[in-house]
Structure 1
Amino acid sequence: MMVDPTLAEMGKNLNQAMKIFEDGQRPSEPDGERRRFSRSSIPGPLQRDGQDVASILQLVQNLMHEEEEDTPSHRRMQNVGEQGHMALLGHSLAAFISVLDKDRLRKLTTRIASDTTLWLSRLFRYENGSAYYHEDDREGLLKVCRLVINARYEDYTTEGFTALNSRQPVIYQSATCRPGLGQHLCCQLGLPLSSLCTVPCNTMFGSQHQMDVALLDKLIKEDMETGKLPLLLIANAGTPWAGHTDKLGRLKELCEQYGMWLHVNMPSLCLPQAASRSDSITLTLGPWLGLPAVPAVTLYRHDDPALTLAAGLTSSQPVEKLRALPLWLSLQYLGHDGIVEKIRHAAELSQQLLEKLKTLASIKTSVEDEVNSPVVVFRFSQETSAASSGGSMEGYFAGEREVIDTLNRWLGERLAQLVPASGVDVVELEEEGTCVRFSPLMTAAVLRTQCCDVDLLVEQLTELVPILSCTLRLRQDFREEVYRHSALSYIQDLSWPGLGAVRYEPRGEELDDGKRQQEVEKINSELLKKLGDLDADLIFSTGPEFGPEKDCIFIGMATEDLDVSELVDMIATLGRDLEESGRLLENMTEVVRKGIQEAELQLQKANEEKLMEEGVLRQIPLVGSVLNWFSPFQSTVKGRTFNLAAGSLDSTEPTYSMKAQTGVVASPETPTFSSKRLPGQRLFRRGGSDSHSETSSVGQAEDLSKEGVHSPSAPTPPCVLQPDEVTSEALERPQVPQGQEVNPLTSQVLAQPEAGQQEDGQMGTEERGMEKIQPEGQQTIEESQEDETGR
């Protein structure tokens, strides 16, 4: 079969372009700096020389994936498949066909529009219908409203809006219709908002998402009594959010009774019989069949071509009919059986999930209509009558609805991350609240959802439901535990999907508001870092980025074995340690400053006394040197050392007179919170009572003691040397001069320390704190100074 070379070239270029876009291939450029500037989104001048197709497609590819080079993202262009290629080819062909001569163009466009209308009418059992193709799915309804106005007001064509003054038209819509739809119609038609009447749904009997037919009848009668004209009724065969269907049979009877036009929106294709019961319907075939950039279709029945032309449903321009070309190509590629199979597959996925959800506890599905809906809406719901382990839930669940909605929002987002092929999303319903929606008719064709994806979705849902239940139950326990600590403040944030939020409040009352806020921010920031470094399964964060609460610690989802009491105690203990360490640093700064001032005063006084003792002659440079040579004068001015632990100012004479350092003062251990846990057990986890006996507890304590874990309140026992060690060290110790003492407990010696004796000096230092040690070398230095003085 011969193919037009132009068409063959067009198909080749399209395949090349789709290959580049879907595979994400980029030619390697050695100059990274030039690539960075070439892909910039800043507009630039048009180049003088033209570029080839490959270069232009490469530019488009770089712009599409510009952000992914800087920050890797999992969002890639979805593979549209062969039927998607046909839809994209239709847009290229439409541009090519539009340049044909008028006769060939009129013949071709008439054939395309006729075939597409016939196929759709048979698919959806809409007999004797005409089709209008449009990009905006609201445009078809807008054209239908103009058609009805032209039909009901005979003088509208000549008199315009003044013809509506005789009887004001009224458009009725369901409360579950698309938000803003009625306002858009009134704005485009030039009608006042009083011409729009929103009909509530059933509140006492029947579904909560179906239009109240009895109330609609009453509203129509009231409008007719006031001289208004019921014009059109907008119903749903599958609501946009939950897929519920109105009672189209009774609504059709009501419309026939009052001479109204019945338009049905079918975003979810819930009722195959809806087409036969309506005067017009709007179909969105693109998401159903996985076809990109195909127009929506409005099927309608009307016999007057002049009125349809005046309403804009038909056009005398052949190019307008080319809108159906992408759909015409795609329908031929899929075939009748392929289209039915895609829709049936989506319905089977919905029924599969619905049946499995009925077996899950704490999962509630939406109200089911009398027809099978391809949309499944479910939410987590738990009976709150049972009290939590720590107390009653009464009072806390004043905001139960908000808490449940928050958890369901987290559940929907989490399922979308874990099973992206399922296409689940979060919807807000007026009655149920926040729910998770599974609409395979709108997503399965594009995401290629299979039965295994539904099984994986149920599996992940089964694992997440216990986490939601535990979190909901332990929120009250967490609140009560926080209230038991005066230094902690419980933050009520119903929009946080987790255990709750807490803030550590410093106990100092002398701080003003500004300094106190800085102290709160500093302590809670450091506390969050310390909690994040712990070996725990909980997630600690600063909460929502744009949340109302700041300087708080938000705790994530909880599990069944979480020990809430230990968690809150840990937060309070770490916060108290951070507060005390901060105050210790501030106090230490003040003490050091005062100590330096006192030392300067003492040194100044000592210098004055030295001057009095030495005399004036020793202050003269040459004379003083000669006098010091023949008669050395020992200075009595000593430095000062400041003891941070004792807060005392001492002389540096013992320090300078020591021969060697006999011990290092050990810094006290920072008190840390430790609980009795088995080896390998993570923080904040309750151990099983069956497996923990007294023997295991003792063994655990022994293990902890072997590892060197000490309780912060337990003092360090004194180190006592054995008799043989004391005897051996006494033999090695040189003779102690008379007048010096030796501590018999700590074995601190005044002699020169040996290698083994240094450990004793360290133990003595731990026992005596910051006490100064004078070795025996001091006596030797003093004797040598006396000899020099005598000479």
Structure 2
Amino acid sequence: MDASLEKIADPTLAEMGKNLKEAMKMLEDSQRRTAEENGKKIVSGDIPGPLQGRIQNIGEQGHMALLGHSLGAYISTLDKEKLRKLTTRILSDTTLWLCRIFRYENGCAYFHEEEREGLAKICRLAIHSRYEDFVVDGFNVLYNKKPVIYLSAAARPGLGQYLCNQDVAFLEKLIKDDVERGRLPLLLVANAGTAAVGHTDKIGRLKELCEQYGMWLHVEGVNLATLALGYVSSSVLAATKCDSMTMTPGPWLGLPAVPAVTLYKHDDPALTLVAGLTSNKPADKLRALPLWLSLQYLGLDGIVEKIKHACQLSQRLQENLKKVNHIKILVEDELSSPVVVFRFFQELAGSDPVFKAVLAPNTAPSTVSRERHSCDVLNRWVRMAVICFFLLYCRASPPALMV
């Protein structure tokens, strides 16, 4: 563990090692005192039934994340002053490290269990920022100028329903139409590598549109993980200029039970508080603890290596899939993307190789319908995409999948 921490190059990130040792010592001292008071050490045999022993082999980094939850429960029993200082330090450290690692300078962080919760809070912040009387008049202030939220066509399923889709040229036309109708363009949600499509929007152009119309730009997607690498494609690098972004370090780094993170930039602490992005409750600040421990354990080199290796695996998977008959790679223009999107297709006897809709001679319509249904069912089963981050850390032997 110490060796991996010594590799950290950034002076700020190098303090992780010291903080981790202090946290580990705090927990060890607590366990030692408890064992002495009870007159015996706790062993796995004290745990009844199926919980005996190690339930699942999740690796040292996984145990570090789970340790954060246990340590958080212990820390919550400290007196208020110590608790306030410690939770503030944990929150500020984790925010600083994430902003440094993923090139989002001078950002703030909101940690949340449900992945879409961060975007919902960002919506509230955008409304409070654009409607000055919203706190006093509530939703009545929205009647004169109805807020409009724009979603990318590549947005993950269910995102629109969770909140309330476009070609950039079409989007600009829609925004102009909304302005002419007395509506207020409020928020634009862009994507950087969605699991279903693997597509990265033209974030740079979208940012220009948002600045032109005073809109809030929010970005999400697995390609944001590549911001930690030495080389980043220009389309993804543009995300560092957005107003907010949601990241999921758990799936990216193979860490169980760590929160999702929404990084954002806003100058008014009163508005971020009323939007629910900041909190004075120690319990809310302790959400960052599992991630705080995990980042220190992995170190900067460990984080970069995991993301780099996942991108390399995705490229290798794509190369192998190209050699398989009846498999079509759908997205090939995304550089260093950790997402591989492919589709199974079946050639009918006498039909075009691309499986066109024109019926082949002597082929009954019912036969074509059944074939299409089978292909659709299979494609739904593989869920259209393989995310190498998930395969690498949640499966025992990912190379076996590269057929």
Matching residue of 2:193: 238
Correspondent of 2:390 among 432, 436, 442: 442
State how far apart, in whole Å, the 2-side matches of 1:342 and 1:370 are. 19
User: In 1, distance between residues paired with 2:203 and 2:369?
Assistant: 33
1:281 match? 245
2:351 and 2:116 map into 1 onto residues whose CA distance is 50
In 2, are the aligned partners of 1:363 and 1:379 still within 8 Å (CA)? yes
Residue 358 (str. 1) matches residue 322 (str. 2): yes
Picking from 351, 371, 388, the partner of 1:403 is 371
Q: 2:85 aligns with which of 83, 100, 107?
A: 107
2:128 counterpart of 1:150: yes
> Which TM-score applies when normalising by structure 1?
0.42
User: Is 1:89 aligned with 2:67?
Assistant: yes
| Whole-Å separation in 2 of the counterparts to 1:326 and 1:137 | 16
Report how far residue 408 of structure 1 moved: 6.8
- Residue 216 of structure 1 is matched in structure 2 by 171
Measured in 2, the distance between the counterparts of 1:110 and 1:9 equals 21
Alignment map for 1:117-516 (pairs within 5 Å): 117-186=95-164, 199=165, 211-269=166-224, 272=227, 273-384=237-348, 386=350, 393-396=361-364, 400=368, 403-404=371-372, 406-407=374-375, 409-410=377-378, 426-427=382-383, 435=384, 437-449=385-397, 452-454=399-401, 457-458=402-403
Count of equivalent residues: 359
Q: Give the counterpart of 2:51 among 61, 68, 73.
A: 61
Q: Say if 2:225 and 2:252, in contact at 8 Å, map to a contact too.
A: no
Alignment of 1:23-102 (within 5 A): 57-59=47-49, 61=51, 78-102=56-80
Give the superposition deviation at 1:349: 0.7
Q: 1:407 to 1:330 in 2, by over 3 A?
A: same
Secondary structure of the 1:133 match is strand
1:258, distance to aligned residue in structure 2 (A): 0.9
Determine if contact 1:125/1:275 at 8 Å carries over to the other structure.
no
| Displacement after TM superposition at 1:175 (Å) | 2.8
Q: Note the alpha carbon deviations across 1:147-169, whole angstroms, 9 max, x for none.
A: 11111011111111111122111
Compared with structure 1, are the counterparts of its residues 277 and 400 closer, same or farther at alpha carbon in structure 2 (3 Å cutoff)? farther
Q: CA deviation at 1:398?
A: 6.1
What are the equivalent positions in structure 2 for 1:563-712 lying under 5 Å apart? none
- Give the whole-Å Cα distance in 2 for the aligned partners of 1:214 and 1:234: 16
Give the AA of the match of 1:403.
E
Report the alpha carbon displacement of residue 178 of structure 1 after superposing the two structures with TM: 2.6
Decide which structure has greater helix share: 2
Q: Which residue of 2 aligns with 1:773?
A: none
Residues 232, 274 of structure 1: CA spacing in aligned structure 2 closer, same or farther, 3 A cutoff? Answer: same
Pairwise CA RMSD? 3.0
Letter in 2 for 1:356: N
SS in structure 1 at match of 2:271 = helix
Q: Is the 8 A contact 2:220 2:245 kept in 1?
A: yes
- Cα offsets for 1:348-375 (capped at 9, x unmatched): 1110121222233432111333434211
Residues 1:383 and 1:88: Cα distance change in structure 2 (over 3 Å): same
Per chain length, whose mean CA-contact separation is higher, i.e. which structure has more relative contact order (CA < 8 Å, sep 6+)? Answer: 2
Identity %: 57
Aligned-pair CA distance for 1:137: 0.7
Higher mean C-alpha deviation, range 279-288 or range 263-272:
263-272
Give the C-alpha shift of residue 409 in structure 1: 4.6
Contact 1:384–1:393 (8 Å) recurs in 2: no
Amino acid at match of 1:289: L
Q: Alpha-carbon deviation of 1:245?
A: 1.3
Q: Could you say which structure has the larger radius of gyration?
A: 1
In structure 2, the gaps of 5 or more residues are 1-20, 35-41, 228-236, 353-359
**Counterpart check, 1:7 vs 2:25:** no
TM-score, reference length from structure 2: 0.80
Partners of 1:238 and 1:270 within 8 A in 2: no
1:448 Cα deviation (Å)?
A: 4.9
Paired with 1:109 and 1:368, the residues of 2 have a C-alpha distance of 44
Query: How far off is 1:101 after superposition?
Result: 1.4
TM superposition shift of 1:383: 4.0
Contact 1:271 1:371 (C-alpha < 8 Å) held by counterparts = no
Separation (CA, whole Å) in 1 of partners of 2:220 and 2:192? 6
- 1:86 and 1:367 map into 2 onto residues whose CA distance is 36
Distance 1:228 1:108, change over 3 A: same
CA distance in 1, matches of 2:320, 2:48: 47
> Which whole-Å deviations, capped at 9, do the CAs of 1:479-520 have from their partners, x for residues lacking one?
xxxxxxxxxxxxxxxxxxxxxxxxxxxxxxxxxxxxxxxxxx
| Aligned AA (1:260) | M
